[in-house]
Structure 1
């Protein structure tokens, strides 16, 4: 999920473990520095946007 230079990522690993990350692509294009600990409001906002988007798209068959 992108909003300006921010990118919120959720990955499911091995079908169970969820890995999240929040990155500023202008400052960190390689997505090496997770900003979630210092930006909880942005993390929550983008998480909500992603959840809303996932409800609106059709599931993959």
Structure 2
């Protein structure tokens, strides 16, 4: 089992789903995915109480 070092408590998976048509799954759930050249304009989102997720943001330029 891989341990998330950021987790406050241990989390056990309850199942596994394989998604083979990811764009269709996003469309079905009304999820918009965009590629951005610059993430800096989004930095203020992480400074609010709004829940936002960003994997490896510390690697983004000027972050």
Q: Which band: TM-score by shorter chain?
A: under 0.3
**Higher strand proportion:** 1
**Larger CA Rg, structure 1 vs 2:** 2
**Higher helix proportion:** 1
**TM-score, normalised with respect to structure 2:** 0.23
Higher relative contact order (CA 8 A, sep 6+): 1
**TM-score, normalised with respect to structure 1:** 0.24
